[in-house]
């Protein structure tokens, strides 16, 4: 049975990555690209057509006869059109034709922690994947990676079994950050460069920036991917004395957001001293405004060096939560996360 899953997050984007899997996957893709020489192991640019209608131009990568990846433009209507061409109808554009999802869900009723239940949960997680690494991780579990690893561990004894179990536990801890991205709050005094960094981390001008104090007065929240790890990024109002009523309200909201944050990046421009940290606040102080006189050499410069700023913040996030550089290891098993947040104190 041929099935497919979109590996990139739901919604509009520059590129959508679609995996076509199962017996006949390569033949199904070749039928959509009759003018291209789609061969195993060789990426090819192909024009996709169906019923005499041009769908899109795609980069096609055939990993095996039963697994092919298509990189198409990330417009949701286009992805839905591709779903129809692959026989998935117009059901959800995230997961179409998953192998017996309804049957898996029914089979898991008496044993939700069993193989069928785990696979059904993985397909459900895949439908709302936060990033490409999350999608690939859940897809591996939907295809049985966890069940295979548990069987392998059961066959081991002594120290080998303990080490394999420990490795699975650690991968599972990290995978929870893919399902529930940590809340990363940018804080600091006015004109510390919070909104400029916010835009640099997103890669677009989401927040208004200005040298005028108090420009940001409300919270801005956006999902982002730093390196390979997803986060919920929050820009907050700058702290200063003498603010008006509206600005003080924004500052109170910012303090409340810091109390709920998984990690606070307190941006410290030259001469600024961070206030005392709240009892529950997990904070990292980062020198900012590297464009100003007196700034240390390691101060962030998101306007002049946005790539360097993103890499620096991504490294801080990984260090705070003890995460590896790579968020996805091909074929690696993880236990599927529950509803509890993934924090390691």
| CA dihedral sign, ordered 112, 117, 118, 120 | negative
Categorize the per-residue pLDDT at 334 as very low, low, confident or very high, splitting at 50, 70 and 90: very high
Q: Does residue 100 have a pLDDT over 70?
A: no
Domain segments of the chain: what residues? 1-97, 183-321
Q: What is the average per-residue pLDDT within 54-82?
A: 85
Enumerate residues 6+ apart whose C-beta is below 8 A from 27.
none
> Lowest mean pLDDT: which of 117-131, 190-204, 205-219?
205-219
pLDDT (0 to 100) of residue 91 = 37
Percent of the chain exceeding pLDDT 90 equals: 26
CB of 335 closer than 8 Å to CB of 236: no
Categorize the per-residue pLDDT at 3 as very low, low, confident or very high, splitting at 50, 70 and 90: confident
Tens of pLDDT along 273-324?
A: 777 776 556 888 988 887 888 888 988 888 889 899 999 999 999 999 999 9
Between 333 and 288, the more confident residue is 333
pLDDT (0 to 100) of residue 238 = 65
Q: What is the average per-residue pLDDT within 177-190?
A: 90
**For the packed helices 115-127 and 132-142, what is the interaxial angle rounded to 10 degrees?**
160
Between 79 and 256, the more confident residue is 79
pTM value? 0.64
CATH of domain 183-321: 3.40.50.300
> Lowest mean pLDDT: which of 26-30, 214-218, 260-264, 283-287?
214-218
Q: Does residue 242 have a pLDDT over 80?
A: no
Between 193 and 224, the more confident residue is 224
Query: Mapping DSSP to helix (H, G, I), strand (E, B) and coil, where does residue 127 land?
Result: helix
pLDDT (0 to 100) of residue 279 = 59
**Short-list 237, 236, 226, 193, CA closest to 320:** 226
Q: Does residue 105 have a pLDDT over 50?
A: no
pLDDT (0 to 100) of residue 92 = 36
Maximum mean pLDDT: which of 73-82, 101-110, 173-182: 173-182
Q: Does residue 200 have a pLDDT over 80?
A: yes
Between 183 and 283, the more confident residue is 183
Q: Does residue 269 have a pLDDT over 60?
A: yes
Q: Does residue 160 have a pLDDT over 90?
A: yes
pLDDT (0 to 100) of residue 211 = 56
DSSP 130-151: SSHHHHHHHHHHHTTHHHHHHH
> Lowest mean pLDDT: which of 30-44, 50-64, 228-242, 272-286?
272-286
Q: Does residue 341 have a pLDDT over 60?
A: no
- Tokens 């070749």 belong to which residue? 30
Tokens of 123: 């397909």
**Domain 1-97 matches domain 183-321 at the CATH topology level:** no
pLDDT (0 to 100) of residue 302 = 85
Between 153 and 2, the more confident residue is 153
Long-range contacts of 247-253 (CB under 8 A, 24+ apart): 247/214, 247/217, 249/217, 250/216, 250/217, 250/218, 250/219, 253/218, 253/219
pLDDT (0 to 100) of residue 82 = 86
The whole-angstrom separation of Cα 288 and Cα 92 is 43
pLDDT (0 to 100) of residue 125 = 80
Homologous superfamily of 1-97 in CATH?
Answer: Probable tRNA modification gtpase trme; domain 1 (3.30.1360.120)
The whole-angstrom separation of Cα 167 and Cα 264 is 29
pLDDT (0 to 100) of residue 166 = 96
The whole-angstrom separation of Cα 197 and Cα 186 is 8
**Short-list 228, 257, 259, CA closest to 329:** 228
């Amino acid at each position: 049975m041929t099935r497919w899953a979109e590996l990139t997050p739901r919604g509009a984007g520059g590129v959508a990555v679609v995996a076509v899997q199962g017996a006949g996957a390569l033949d199904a893709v070749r039928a959509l690209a009759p003018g291209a020489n789609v061969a195993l192991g060789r990426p090819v640019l192909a024009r996709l057509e169906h019923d005499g209608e041009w769908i899109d131009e795609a980069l096609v990568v055939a990993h095996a006869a039963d697994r092919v990846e298509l990189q198409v433009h990330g417009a949701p209507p286009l992805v839905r059109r591709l779903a129809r061409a692959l026989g998935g109808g117009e059901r959800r554009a995230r997961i179409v034709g998953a192998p017996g999802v309804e049957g898996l869900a029914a089979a898991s009723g008496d044993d939700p922690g069993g193989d069928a239940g785990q696979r059904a949960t993985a397909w459900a997680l895949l439908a709302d994947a936060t990033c490409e690494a999350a999608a690939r991780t859940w897809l591996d579990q939907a295809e049985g990676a966890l069940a295979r690893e548990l069987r392998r561990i059961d066959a081991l004894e002594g120290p080998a079994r303990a080490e394999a179990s420990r490795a699975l536990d650690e991968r599972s801890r990290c995978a929870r950050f893919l399902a529930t991205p940590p809340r990363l709050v940018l804080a600091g005094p006015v004109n510390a460069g919070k909104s400029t960094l916010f835009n640099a981390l997103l890669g677009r001008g989401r927040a208004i920036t200005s040298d005028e104090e108090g420009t940001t007065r409300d919270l801005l929240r956006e999902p982002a991917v730093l390196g390979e790890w997803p986060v919920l990024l929050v820009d907050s109002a700058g702290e200063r004395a003498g603010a008006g009523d509206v600005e003080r309200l924004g500052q109170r909201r910012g303090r409340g957001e810091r109390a709920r944050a998984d990690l606070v990046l307190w941006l410290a421009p030259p001469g600024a001293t961070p206030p005392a940290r709240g009892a529950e606040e997990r904070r990292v102080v980062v020198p900012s405004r590297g464009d100003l006189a007196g700034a240390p050499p390691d101060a962030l410069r998101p306007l002049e060096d946005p790539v360097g700023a993103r890499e620096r913040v991504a490294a801080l996030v990984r260090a705070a939560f003890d995460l590896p550089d790579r968020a996805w290891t091909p074929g690696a098993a993880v236990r599927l996360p529950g509803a509890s947040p993934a924090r390691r104190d």
